Every structure is written in structure tokens, then in C-alpha cells.
């Protein structure tokens, strides 16, 4: 029998308490970035590809439950148990705005156009802050039926999605009217919700099921039972043919989107997995755990179908080793040229 290839993740240390949320930026001219929220009250920014630490945002006085980056990865936002949501300069780490709440803030999300910040928490109120007028009072949409656990934007910032800690279902709010227009019914409380990169699907994790909903017509597309209670799930963004889920059993499971069959199972965390997200290009994914570490896993070699799909689009993926070899080659070539120039200049 073929021995299964054991995935060796990049392990990112730094947090002293459980990691409870992760968010990747889109791909920017400077690469892509990963922000993590932890109960240690110090969110961290990392290079999304290498996991290298870039900086720590210092200023919260309680657990940080949620974190996000804006479209250009120039600003970060965090939601905390210290009754505040903060917006940070992602280049300097400085606090740009601190929005005080009356209770624990559990969720935050930048709008796609980066002008608005959405927050929700134990107060059962969803607020929208205008970042161009940070001193103005926030807009409040209709009262949430329960304590807000997750929140996200969709439909080009015209709709808000939220789930509650103490009840099942995902509610969709019309931003213009501030009213609930649809509820996606689930048995258990939804602990993770994600809008796919192409805007087609909403991925939810509730109890021991992962569900995929049509983001435009709100019908249930697929529902899969998981091997354990899962806390988070994420859909591969490029091909949409696989998804990841993790939770109580400490493992990171990879499944086929079309069949629900388990493709891989990554072991390494020493505590339950609280959060999982695919990188914007789908070549890797990150997991955050009760053990205080973030692990970045490579998605693995492309299947024949994926290679053909890429070739058809005129994009053929070059393996990372080849890229690094080329880069090393450039450095060597450049150094050689520099030496030649220096020698020429000295003559």
C-alpha cells in the first residue's frame, strides 16, 4: 500500500493563548497577508505565504475575537472582549480609530469598497461605521435576534450576513432597509461563515455539518456531515473543488466539494482547531488552534483536471521550488554583474 505523504506545515508561534480567528488579505502588489486574532489580546500580521511575523497590533485590553484586513491590506480591524473594535494602520501598527461598544464585540468586517466597518457582538446590535466620518454615530440595522457570532458583507456591500452564538441560522440583512430579508436555516449555531471569493457560495459550519448555500438565490447547494464537531470551514477559492474543515478532533480535514469524500487529514495541532482559511490563491491554507499556534499547510500538487483547467486559461503554475531557484539565479546573476561593474569602475 502506498504510504500517505505526510503534510509538513509551516508552524507560526507567537501567540500565548488560543488563536480564534484568521483572515487573509486579497493578493496585493506586495503579496498577500494573514492576520490572526487571539485571546492573548495581541493580533498579529504575517506574510501570508511564508508565515513570517511582520508585526503585532498593541492596544486591546481583552481577548480579540475577530480580525480582518481591507482589500488593499493597508488597514486592519479587530473586535475585542474589551468592548471595543479598533481600526489599525497595517503598515505602522498604529490605532487609527477605536469604536467603543457596550459589550463584548465578536465580529468585524471591512466592506469591499473599504469605506465601511461592520461590527457585531453580545449587544445583539449590528453597527456600520463610516470610516470617512469616524466621529459620526454608526448606523444600526434592526436588532439581531441573538448575540452576534459572525458577520460578513456580500453582493457588493448591499447585503450583510450574520450568525448568532445562541441559535441556529444565518440571517441576511438588506443594508438599505436594515431589515432581515432571508434566513438560512441550520440546526446548530453557525460558528463560521465565509463568502466565496467569486461571490457564488456561502460556506457555513454548524455543529458537525458543513453547508454550502447559493449566495444569490440562498438555496442549500450541499450539506456534508463531518467526522466531528467542526468550528470552521473554508472553500478553495480558485477551482472550488475542495474545502477544509476543522474542530474538536484537532485535525485539519480536506474534502472533495462535489462528493464530500475526505481527501486528506492533517495532524499537528495539540488542541481543537478554532479557525481555518484558504489563502487567496488557494495554494495553501492556515489553521488556528487552542494550542496558540497557526499552521500553514500547502494544498498539494495540482490534479490533472486542475492542470488542464489552468492550461486552458493560459496559466500554468510553476512549482515553488522552481520559482525560488529562478530567484536565486537572479540574485547570483545580479551579484556577478555588480562585481563586473565595480571592477570596471575601479579600473
**16-296: what fold?**
Methylamine Dehydrogenase; Chain H (2.130.10)
Summarize pLDDT for 236-281 with one digit per residue, the tens: 999 999 999 999 999 999 999 999 999 999 999 999 999 999 999 9
Q: Please tell me the pTM assigned to this model.
A: 0.86
**Domain segments of the chain: what residues?**
16-296
Report helix, strand or coil for 321.
helix
Summarize pLDDT for 279-324 with one digit per residue, the tens: 999 999 999 999 999 999 999 765 666 556 555 554 434 344 443 3
Amino acid at each position: 500500500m502506498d504510504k500517505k505523504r505526510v503534510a509538513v506545515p509551516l508552524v507560526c508561534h507567537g501567540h500565548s493563548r488560543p488563536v480564534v480567528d484568521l483572515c487573509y488579505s486579497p493578493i496585493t502588489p506586495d503579496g498577500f497577508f494573514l492576520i490572526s486574532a487571539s485571546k492573548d489580546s495581541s493580533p498579529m500580521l504575517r506574510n501570508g505565504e511564508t508565515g513570517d511575523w511582520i508585526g503585532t497590533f498593541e492596544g486591546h485590553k481583552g481577548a480579540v475575537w475577530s480580525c480582518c484586513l481591507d482589500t488593499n491590506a493597508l488597514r486592519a480591524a479587530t473586535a475585542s472582549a474589551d468592548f471595543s473594535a479598533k481600526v489599525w494602520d497595517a503598515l505602522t501598527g498604529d490605532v487609527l480609530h477605536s469604536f467603543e461598544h457596550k459589550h463584548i464585540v465578536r465580529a468585524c468586517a471591512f466592506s469591499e469598497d473599504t469605506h465601511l466597518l461592520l461590527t457585531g457582538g453580545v449587544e445583539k446590535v449590528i453597527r456600520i461605521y463610516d470610516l470617512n466620518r469616524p466621529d459620526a454615530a454608526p448606523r444600526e440595522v434592526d436588532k439581531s435576534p441573538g448575540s452576534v457570532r459572525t458577520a460578513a458583507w456580500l453582493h457588493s456591500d448591499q447585503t450583510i450576513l450574520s450568525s448568532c452564538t445562541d441559535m441556529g441560522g444565518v440571517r441576511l440583512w438588506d443594508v438599505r432597509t436594515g431589515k432581515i430579508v432571508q434566513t438560512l436555516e441550520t440546526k446548530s449555531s453557525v460558528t463560521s461563515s465565509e463568502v466565496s471569493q467569486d461571490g457564488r457560495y456561502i460556506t457555513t459550519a454548524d455543529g458537525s455539518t458543513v453547508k454550502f448555500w447559493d449566495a444569490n438565490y440562498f438555496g442549500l447547494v450541499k450539506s456534508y456531515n463531518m467526522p466531528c464537531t467542526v468550528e470552521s470551514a473554508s472553500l478553495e477559492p480558485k477551482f472550488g473543488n475542495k474545502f477544509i474543515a476543522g474542530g474538536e478532533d484537532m485535525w485539519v480535514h480536506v474534502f472533495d466539494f462535489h462528493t464530500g469524500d475526505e481527501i486528506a487529514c492533517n495532524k499537528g495541532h495539540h488542541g481543537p482547531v478554532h479557525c481555518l482559511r484558504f489563502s487567496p490563491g488557494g495554494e495553501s491554507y492556515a489553521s488556528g488552534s487552542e494550542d496558540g499556534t497557526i499552521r500553514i499547510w500547502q494544498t498539494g500538487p495540482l490534479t490533472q483536471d486542475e492542470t488542464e483547467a489552468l492550461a486552458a486559461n493560459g496559466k500554468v503554475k510553476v512549482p515553488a521550488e522552481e520559482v525560488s531557484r529562478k530567484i536565486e539565479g537572479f540574485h547570483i546573476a545580479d551579484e556577478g554583474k555588480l562585481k563586473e561593474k565595480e571592477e570596471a569602475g575601479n579600473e
